[in-house]
A and B are shown apart, each in its own frame.
Chain A
Amino acid sequence: MDAQFLVSFGLILATFGLYIGIALFNKARQTSDFYVAGRSVPAVFNGMAIGADWMSAASFIGMAGTIMIMGYDGLAYIMGWTGGYLLLTFLLAPQLRKYGRYTVPEFIGDRYQSNTARLIAAVATIIISFTYSIGQLSGSGVVIGRLLEVDVAVGTMIGVILIAFYSALGGMKGITWTQVAQYLVLIIAYLIPVIFMSLQLTSNPMPWLSYGQVIGELRELDQALGITEYVVPFTENTKWQFLALMFTLMAGTAGLPHVIVRFYTVATMKAARWSGAWALLFIGLLYLSAPAYAAFSRFILMDQVAGSPINNLPAWTTAWVDTGQLSVADQNGDGVLQWAEIVISKDIVVMATPEIANLGIFVIGLMAAGAMAAALSTAGGLMISISAALSHDIYYRSINPHASEEKRLAVGRWSIVIATVVAGLVALNPPGAITQIVAWAFALASGSFFPALLLGVWWKRSNGPGVIAGMVTGLSVSLAYIFAAKYGGFTILGIVDTGAGVFGASAAIVANIVVSLLTKEPSQQVQDEVIDLRYPEEMTYKDGEVWIKDGTEG
């Protein structure tokens, strides 16, 4: 039990105590608290909660490493995962807020007046959120396992118990305020090391301004070594794969149920727009820093680690070599470690950075607490979505419409506990690489929810049969392309499995439009409701006329 263990453990324990305290203080007392936090969350804080919800273990731990290894091609993740907020805030969120339901499947069911559509959407929510949460839980297992020096399986189970406890207790209300705290923890933990690295390498405390210079030096190092330059585009995949991946991530972001439901927790359409803007600002702080991390880490590895004698490597390398995430074999036997002989897993770049840059045990502990915050906050939001789909969309709206409020809350809580435990069991032995699973979840979301919501909000002629055809087609095309590209070697324009969403979304939009036009148009009431979404809450569309509230009504 060394000093590092005590510091990491102490910081994680302190932050967990804070989260649980907040969850207890904001215990959900009624259904609207549980699903949509009583619709009373102010826009700035909702922005932070969206940020924590959004930035998962994959973003916190994996993104900088992905960019470091893929170079320019990794930037598709930066633009895709931020650009999604444009689609969401401009095209969907305010309108969905005005329509005002508890969940995304509920919107789809009511807007398209189809129980079948609602059930398909509920099942899709469960599949997408469940897949995504497996990645979060195994991510938290890795962090707990590495820093508390216990087995990864034990780490995962600790994470499961924590998430099940505070999501089930607090519901959306507890989770929202917990996530505000988690955002602050994770962003501080992410920024401190990168600022210190920037100071060490460039004497400038603003990494965002200073790493351009490091990029220039990296180009020279690459040229001297004769390897592919870091900034050269499309070295990993084709240009079309870059564009397709970027589209899949954007459309998937705009169609992820656990993100959309965040916009239901605010009071008005106006607040939904401001929430989107604040959210992207808070998310941007991390996403603008990730490429700086990547450049600094690569520079330190190339400049200070590569070229060292193999028997005189920095002490931190041993710990990571032991975990199997880093390999530093001296292949040509000259006693010196060459750049080409370093194989680093992208998942350790951020976690190892404080050690690489020699920042001390407090920063390392802080990173652990930040990574845990990222994994737990996203998992919490995902669990609420799964529980809402099960208890609200399936149980309350289809099985037992007369269920009392207590009964619905109880079903919601139990479904969180069960979903977390099942996801935890799967996460003990994950079915694939975390980033891969996450990318598939986005391809599925962009094939199912994005087209259904987009046409539901903007095209009044779209109807029940249309949306059913669209969701089924989109999901099938996305899935088929993922499997064909991954296992069958089938690609179009070099687009691989992670870009599948572009085909899923196009197929779903076409299917929705064609089937809608071939079948009966929706009832006048539904069409009026869709036109009503064009206007703010104070304006109401009724029987072909628009009314505005001017304070004279009671």
Chain B
Amino acid sequence: MRKVEKKVADAYFRLRTTLIVIYLAIGVCVSYLVVFFARDLSSITFNGFPLHYYMGAQGAVLTFIILLFVNAFVNDKIDQKFGIHSDKKTNLSSGNTLDQ
């Protein structure tokens, strides 16, 4: 066990939270914002689809999937940068559980 500087710990949390806010903002843009302006986007055609329909049927879902993988990947990198190594995790698997 070693102590982490408060500054470092706060930076970790702030970085994670900022990223999550960015991901969620992108998610909102491709779904809610596109729906809100659906009528205006319907004149644009993409791959045979009117754009608003494409975003609803494929674009939004694909963006969501990419966001989740980017999040998982970037988070592992951040953990490494802050000196957390995943190979030690096996013996931590129970977390705070009551099931010991």
Q: Which residues of A contact B (CB under 8 A)?
A: 31-32, 36, 39-40, 72, 75-76, 78-79, 82-83, 85-87, 89-91, 97-102, 208-209, 212-213, 215-216, 231-234, 239, 242-243, 246, 267-268, 270, 273-274, 276-277, 280-281, 284, 287-288, 291, 529, 534-539, 541, 545-553
Q: A246 near B32 (CB under 8 angstroms)? A: yes
**B contacts with A: majority SS:** helix
> Closest approach, in angstroms, between the C-beta of A216 and any C-beta of chain B?
5
Q: B27 near A83 (CB under 8 angstroms)? A: yes
> Closest approach, in angstroms, between the C-beta of B37 and any C-beta of chain A?
10
Q: Among A216, A534, A550, point to the contact of B48 (Cβ < 8 A).
A: A216
Q: Among A78, A91, A101, A273, point to the contact of B98 (Cβ < 8 A).
A: A101
Q: B89 near A553 (CB under 8 angstroms)? A: no
Q: Give me 6 other A-B pairs in contact (C-beta within 8 A), A32-B99, A537-B92 excluded.
A: A76-B35, A246-B31, A268-B92, A270-B72, A277-B69, A281-B65
- In the A-B complex, the 8 residue pairs with the closest CB atoms: A212-B48, A75-B56, A100-B95, A277-B68, A100-B97, A546-B9, A291-B57, A233-B38
Q: Among A72, A79, A529, point to the contact of B60 (Cβ < 8 A).
A: A79
Q: Which residues of B contact A (CB under 8 A)?
A: 1-4, 6, 8-9, 12-13, 16, 20, 23-24, 27, 31-32, 35-36, 38-39, 42, 46-50, 52-54, 56-58, 60-62, 64-65, 67-69, 71-72, 75-76, 79, 83-86, 88-90, 92-99
Q: B88 near A209 (CB under 8 angstroms)? A: no
Q: A233 near B39 (CB under 8 angstroms)? A: yes
> Closest approach, in angstroms, between the C-beta of A479 and any C-beta of chain B?
25
Q: Among B61, B89, B96, point to the contact of A268 (Cβ < 8 A).
A: B89
Q: A91 near B39 (CB under 8 angstroms)? A: no
What CA separation (Å) do A268 and B31 show in the bound complex? 30
Residue of A nearest to B41 (CB): A233
Q: A86 near B84 (CB under 8 angstroms)? A: no
Q: B42 near A549 (CB under 8 angstroms)? A: no
Known contacts A212-B54, A550-B1: does B68 contact A537 (CB below 8 Å)?
no
**A contacts with B: majority SS:** helix
Q: Among A99, A538, A547, point to the contact of B84 (Cβ < 8 A).
A: A538
What CA separation (Å) do A540 and B6 show in the bound complex? 12
Q: Among A239, A529, A535, A547, point to the contact of B13 (Cβ < 8 A).
A: A535
Q: Among B47, B58, B67, B94, point to the contact of A100 (Cβ < 8 A).
A: B94
